[in-house]
A and B are shown apart, each in its own frame.
Chain A
Amino acid sequence: MKPTAKQRIWMYERMLTSRKLDEAVFEAYWEGKKPIFHMGKGPLPGEMHQSFGQEPAAVGVCVHLGADDAVGGNHRPHHTAIARGVNLKRMAAELFGKKTGLSGGRGGHMHLYDKNVSFFCSGIIAEGMGPGAGFALAKRMRKQPGIAVSFNGDGAVNQGAFHEVMNMVGLWKLPFIAVIEDNAYAVSCRPSESTAVRAWKRAEAYACGGEYVAGNDPDLIFEAAGRAVEHARSGKGGYILEIQTERLHGHFIGDSAGYRPKEEVAAQKDPIPLYRQRLLDEKVLPAAELDALEARVKQEVDAAMKFGRDSDYPAPQEALEKVFA
């Protein structure tokens, strides 16, 4: 099943929104952190794991999802959150730690939650798998439609939680997809150094479907994800969808990725300009409309960043609130 023109435009627009936000965040991140790098300083403090290059993985999957579904992101959540349709202004405000943020500033960059689109994050590798499968179980138990998707990195597949959850997903045939974004590096560790058998190849061991899609190409990811989603929706159970993607920057801002061979870094391709060119070549959108789309995206991102900057911080004693419902 190939994407329609409308879906392709949606995917491009979402990828671009994520990229423009990440660019703005990258710039803002360095404020207050020069000449001495101190992670806790500046308007955008903390760790920052950006999604440069990984945008196709999120849009190619999320394009198939709707209001009935649930999505879990990980510690690198921006592209996933944006593909899922998380409120962009409130997301930016959350990154700035402002009162108007998605969590009122309590979660920050690695803990983005938006109940309106059933989106949550896990700051701890692989540990969001369980809650994701739990959403799927709840749908099954209440006889509601919908599936759950959990986004993880290639480094997550060896954590105990991954194995435990996939076993139960297979045992109970839960409508759950484990997306593995293979960006070739778990911080500095390559899969060949850490993983005996790749996750998608283990699918049979978990009585799930599974496949690997190479190329970091939104259209190819669309097709593979379509198969995964159909598998889950049709009642066949779980799926492990491993997606080759590219981490264009370091693990987090501040990681110079000196462990990567220079030739490898030089050979990386940015998927977004490539996709833009394809939309032009295949006459999906003329250049003028693409320009207009890009202008709208930039405006939306700028507005979100401004909203984040201009919003107030929460009062300090608000730290005591919302521990319990």
Chain B
Amino acid sequence: MAAPVVDSGRSLTMARAGREAVIAAMRANPDIFVIGEDLGGVFGTTVGMADEFGSQRIVDTPISETGFIGIATGAAMAGMHPIIEIAFVDFIGVCYNQIVNFAAKTHYMSGGQFKVPMTMMIGYGGGYCDAAQHSQTLIATLAHMPGIKVITPADAYDAKGLMASCLADDNLCVWMVHKAIWGLGWLGLPIKTALATVPEEDYKVPFGKARIWREGKDVTLVGYGITVHHSLAAADKLAAEGISAEVLDLRTIVPMDRDAVFKSVSKTGHLVVADEDYMNCGVTAEVLASIAERDPRVLQAPAVRVANPDVPIPFSRPMENFALPDADKIVAAAKKTLGKA
């Protein structure tokens, strides 16, 4: 008989962990409410919450993103803290103005008079044949605009802690989770490394602090969200070939922990950055810029980026798999920068 394990801690999906943070915050603060479409439904993050909080605080809306994001912005300016659920980041196209010109800029344009405490909960990512308008990442598009904090947890522990931090922040925070690691019903089983032990009590994970998932000395693999998991799988494969890879999870894109990236690359001298977003003018470029601007001499070889090669995401599986990053592409990139291709 195995040694008894006393209360080993709960292993949760990111969806459930994020939900715990939302519920705890809503119980503590009556000014927090959820607004969005299909709140009972698509991602299950708010399933059953109307039973506890009432339809007053779980506000189901018509298909009117510009309308209800504007409404949420006004409620935030009035001192409440709305949580807006958007199922697919691709939909920000229909409400982009409200996000980037209103919610993001009102604090600044009002000289600090009106805070806009607002959290958006958004799903992103492809790899399941949902094609170009339902599979995007678009994190660079949001990170590019001043006034938006972009939060990208990669596992359940960070999901809960980062959501708690979003709900305590007086600004527009966009908490974004790749659909394949969220732990939703309709994408099969979640990637195992996205599950994590999650404390029952409340806790926060700070913004702007990267996380080293795996230490290594030969090459730094930088990722966020799903590419952390691809990088972990890549690190295993590289280890089998005697290459020691360090896996660094950015955790938040705005603010970005450039110091941690620089420190890791200073140690390994080699850099691979992986991102499911489009490559051009993207987060991968921003990470490279961080090194180049600070001291490019820490790099012993050119860095390599792994990202969508600037194509609309194809529907057909072989083409989609070609366009999106995966562990093998990160392995190839690591070998390339190490001159072992």
Answer yes or no: A and B touching, Cβ < 8 Å: yes
Chain A residues with CB under 8 Å of chain B are 70, 101-107, 111, 113-115, 118, 120, 122-124, 127-139, 141-142, 148, 160-161, 163-165, 167-168, 171, 322-325
Chain A positions within 8 Å of B112 at CB level: 103-104, 322, 325
Q: Does B114 contact A (CB under 8 A)?
A: yes
B204 to chain A, nearest CB (A): 17
Chain A positions within 8 Å of B115 at CB level: 325
Q: Which of B61-100 contact A (CB under 8 A)?
A: 61-62, 64-80, 97-98
A122 to chain B, nearest CB (A): 7
Chain A positions within 8 Å of B281 at CB level: none
Given that A130-B66, A130-B67 are known contacts, is A323 also in contact with B107, CB under 8 Å in the complex? yes
A234 to chain B, nearest CB (A): 20
Q: A127-B66, A133-B70, A142-B80 are in contact. List 10 more A-B contacts (CB 8 A).
A: A70-B74, A102-B110, A120-B110, A133-B71, A141-B57, A164-B64, A167-B67, A168-B68, A325-B170, A325-B171
Taking a contact as CB atoms under 8 Å apart, the answer to whether A168 and B98 are in contact is no
Cα A121 to Cα B92 with chains together (Å): 23
Taking a contact as CB atoms under 8 Å apart, the answer to whether B68 and A130 are in contact is yes
Taking a contact as CB atoms under 8 Å apart, the answer to whether A102 and B78 are in contact is no
Taking a contact as CB atoms under 8 Å apart, the answer to whether A168 and B61 are in contact is yes
Q: Which of B256-286 contact A (CB under 8 A)?
A: none
Q: Does B202 contact A (CB under 8 A)?
A: no
Taking a contact as CB atoms under 8 Å apart, the answer to whether A106 and B80 are in contact is no
Cα A191 to Cα B338 with chains together (Å): 66
Chain A positions within 8 Å of B147 at CB level: 323-324
Chain B positions within 8 Å of A107 at CB level: 109-111
Taking a contact as CB atoms under 8 Å apart, the answer to whether B108 and A161 are in contact is no
Cα A324 to Cα B150 with chains together (Å): 13
A35 to chain B, nearest CB (A): 33
Chain B positions within 8 Å of A141 at CB level: 33, 56-57, 75, 80
Q: 4 smallest A-B Cβ distances: which pairs? A: A130-B70, A134-B74, A164-B67, A103-B111
Contact of A148 among B74, B79, B102 (CB under 8 A): B74
Taking a contact as CB atoms under 8 Å apart, the answer to whether A129 and B75 are in contact is no
- Contact string against A for B residues 36-66, beta-carbon threshold 8 Å, 1 for contact and 0 otherwise: 0000000000000000000011000110111
Q: Does B290 contact A (CB under 8 A)?
A: no
Chain B positions within 8 Å of A106 at CB level: 108-111
Cα A105 to Cα B112 with chains together (Å): 11
Cα A325 to Cα B111 with chains together (Å): 10
Taking a contact as CB atoms under 8 Å apart, the answer to whether A102 and B107 are in contact is no
Cα A141 to Cα B76 with chains together (Å): 12
Interface centre among B31, B64, B111 (most CB of A within 10 A): B111
Q: What number of residue pairs across chains A and B have CB atoms under 8 A from each other?
A: 151
Of chain B, the residue at the smallest CB distance from A104 is B111
Chain A positions within 8 Å of B79 at CB level: 138
Chain A positions within 8 Å of B69 at CB level: 130
Chain B residues with CB under 8 Å of chain A are 31, 33, 56-57, 61-62, 64-80, 97-98, 101-102, 106-117, 146-147, 149, 170-171
Of chain A, the residue at the smallest CB distance from B149 is A324
Contact of A323 among B64, B73, B146 (CB under 8 A): B146
Given that A138-B79, A325-B170 are known contacts, is A165 also in contact with B111, CB under 8 Å in the complex? no
Taking a contact as CB atoms under 8 Å apart, the answer to whether A160 and B66 are in contact is yes
Chain A positions within 8 Å of B73 at CB level: 130-131, 134
Taking a contact as CB atoms under 8 Å apart, the answer to whether A167 and B72 are in contact is no
Chain A positions within 8 Å of B72 at CB level: 130, 134
Taking a contact as CB atoms under 8 Å apart, the answer to whether A129 and B110 are in contact is no
Taking a contact as CB atoms under 8 Å apart, the answer to whether A168 and B110 are in contact is no
Could you pull out 28 A-B pairs where Cβ atoms are within 8 angstroms? A102-B110, A102-B113, A103-B109, A103-B112, A105-B111, A106-B111, A113-B106, A118-B78, A120-B77, A120-B110, A123-B101, A124-B101, A130-B69, A130-B72, A130-B74, A130-B102, A131-B70, A133-B67, A134-B70, A134-B78, A135-B77, A137-B74, A138-B75, A165-B71, A167-B64, A323-B108, A324-B107, A324-B171
Chain B positions within 8 Å of A161 at CB level: 66-67, 70, 98
Chain A positions within 8 Å of B78 at CB level: 70, 118, 134-135, 138-139
Taking a contact as CB atoms under 8 Å apart, the answer to whether B106 and A120 are in contact is yes
A199 to chain B, nearest CB (A): 16
Of chain B, the residue at the smallest CB distance from A174 is B71
Cα A160 to Cα B70 with chains together (Å): 12
Chain B positions within 8 Å of A137 at CB level: 71, 74-75
B22 to chain A, nearest CB (A): 17
Of chain A, the residue at the smallest CB distance from B82 is A134
Cα A246 to Cα B75 with chains together (Å): 33
Cα A205 to Cα B335 with chains together (Å): 63
B83 to chain A, nearest CB (A): 13
Taking a contact as CB atoms under 8 Å apart, the answer to whether B110 and A164 are in contact is no
Given that A70-B78, A113-B114 are known contacts, is A131 also in contact with B109, CB under 8 Å in the complex? no
Taking a contact as CB atoms under 8 Å apart, the answer to whether B109 and A132 are in contact is no
